[in-house]
Amino acid sequence: MKFSDTALVALVSLAGSVSALSPAGWRSQSIYQVLTDRFARTDGSTTATCNTGDQIYCGGSWQGIINKLDYIWISPIVENLSGNSGDGEAYHGYWAQNINAVNSNFGSESDLIALSVALHSRGMYLMVDIVTNHMGYLGCGTCVDYSVFTPFNSQSYYHPFCLIDYNNATSIKVCWEGDNTVSLPDLRTEDLNVLNTFETWISGLASKYSIDGLRVDSAQQVDNAFFPPFQTAAGGMHILGEVFNGDPAYTCPYQQYMSGVLNYPAYFWIIQAFESTSGSISNLVNGINTMKSTCSDTTLLGSFMENHDNARFPSLNSDLSLAKNAIAFTILQDGIPIIYYGQEQHYSGGGVPYDREALWLSGYSTSAPLYTFIASVNQIRNQAIYKDSGYLTYKAYPIYSDSHTIAMRKGNTGYQIIGVFSNLGASGSSYTLTLTSSETGFTASQSLVEVLSCTAYTTDSSGNLAVAMAGGLPRIFYPTAQLTGSGVCSSITATTTTTSSTACATVTSVAVTFDEKVTTTVGQTIKISGSIAAFGNWDTSAAVSLSASQYTSANPLWFVTLNLAPGAVIQYKYINVNSAGTVTWEADPNHTYTVPATCATAATCLRTLKCTPDASSLNRPRSLNFTLSTDVKMHSRRIVFKQTTVSKLHTIYGR
């Protein structure tokens, strides 16, 4: 069971006004999950005390999230019970008492609307974490005062009290989660009046806060027939249901009732494979193949390795190489990647409540090893999506395995990512692993890039790939031809320009011309918004206007020339601003461009250099997902880390 104080956020480009994002639209997103109370405070403090063992509110807020939008996402939003107990306070957001009001500990309705507006103005999507299974009461199950709940204020809305026996299927549906300290009255979601109330509620909630996706807490405890009409009432937006069970035969069938679920089966196999140097790779191999044949669509599942209900991975093993393998596998397997806040800082809290640390105590470091690592892996995923949309629906599968290694392929030939993952750990020896052409799909003498180390590889005359393994680190390969000009490993993939000069003067700026051909109507202006000050730092009000001086109906050209610092790496997108000031973002992903820094290139490009759109990284609003929890859980779409040429994954969950 999860608390509704979580939320997910995604940066994505929007065509026109914001609307619910379909399941298919969510495939290309990445999610960063955060507990609102533990992500950022309104005052911006990075020293405020937060003892996870106390299980009380620590001061995180929606305004705090707004202040850190270059980094994050959120948890459930509705009003929870007040008061402390042996189980702590409702800081997680999963003990709702009034689903029609927001949790004032996180801010006001206007604050939440401001957060939604701030997200969407950056091209992000908002996913909310919600609870439809139960309410929350400070007291025993047999002494509940049902009049305190809104709108379900009568005992007739609830099943009779009994604590769940998870060995009994009926008990899971009709008995109560929680305990007799904080009881969780179980709603009769099979009753039409309960369903109708929730349908009206979710329709209004989605409209009021411009929500794009939902994470549904305790989904397996809800009546199955509840979800199809509920998802329809939510505008058909994607749902990720929490079915806390590691058996594919139990979890996968829930896709008959909602579009997606959290991939708990894969979660358990990933942990088993990489939590130690003697982990079970074979269970992971067999499990991935089982999921492909059992689930109706693994590409719509939520892929994760940490959350607020499970001990953080580093609490099991602090080895950084093992963590990198587990994270990379999570991001590159089928489904929508979900990063749990603090994962990028290598937080190591154990089980609940110690896995709910205050992120501000990390100082929001953007140079932490796992922060930059996650950004790099997410970047290559987005490049693969940009180059071939078929990547999203291609089912990943194991191409090689041994007792310590699993190699995976995802993507059509010519656009495939080959990932090699090991559980040898940081002390693992150096060796060479040869993958055959029949395993990888690579051809003879094909040029490849290992994107984590930015090392150039070439297959042999038979197409075989000799992978240099060392230090237990993962390896991720992608065709060089699909990376040219992308900003990924620009030292070996950038387009170069040569001159006959043997020497040239040092340049301090490069004149870069940005061209955009797009048909517009009277009153519309094309602008460019991006990750550097010259582009407004993603603030659309400070975006740079392009000129239409050469615009014709046959050649609808908008352009602008800017002097930029050599070597600067830029994330940017074009926006269309109408006469009323309404902003429309172009489609995902972000463009990424590296300003030439070599002597010859700078000398040649002082006049004009055409920028080639690069979608390899997701540093910008277009692919960021955000999840919010209130008392109702909110989720958002994509995570984008504040780093050059990288996308952030931001999703927030609550518990």
Active-site residues, by number, are: 217, 242
Residue 322 one-letter amino acid? L
The C-alpha angle with vertex 65 and arms to 95 and 56, in degrees rounded to 5, equals 40
d(CA 50, CA 397): 42
- Nearest Cα neighbor of 20 from 262, 210, 259 is 210
Contact 89, 53 (CB under 8 A): no
CA distances from 443 to 479, 493, 496 (A): 10, 19, 25
Matching residue, tokens 């609102």: 36
d(CA 643, CA 86): 41
For 419, half-sphere exposure in the C-beta direction (CA atoms, 13 angstrom radius) is: 27
CA distances from 292 to 238, 298, 301, 387, 394 (A): 20, 6, 11, 24, 11
CA distances from 185 to 202, 239, 277 (A): 20, 23, 43
Collapsing DSSP states into helix, strand and coil, what is residue 130? Answer: strand
CA distances from 449 to 126, 476, 577 (A): 34, 8, 39
d(CA 394, CA 413): 11
Is beta strand 302-303 parallel, antiparallel or unpaired with respect to 260-261?
Answer: unpaired
The C-alpha angle with vertex 93 and arms to 90 and 95, in degrees rounded to 5, equals 65
Token pair of 634 as six digits: 């909110």
d(CA 411, CA 415): 6
Query: Helices 109-121 and 192-209 sit at what angle, rounded to 10 degrees?
Result: 60
Burial, 139: exposed, middle or buried (Cβ in 10 Å; 0-12, 13-18, 19+)? middle
| Phi–psi pair at 480, nearest 5 degrees | -60, -35
Contact 452, 468 (CB under 8 A): no
CA dihedral (572, 578, 582, 584) in degrees, to 10, reads: -40
Full DSSP string of 139-180 = B-TTS--GGGSBS--SGGGBPPP-B--TT-HHHHHHSBEE-S
Task: Report the length, in residues, of the chain.
Answer: 655
For 414, half-sphere exposure in the C-beta direction (CA atoms, 13 angstrom radius) is: 4
Helices (H), 17-61: 23-26, 36-39
d(CA 234, CA 249): 27
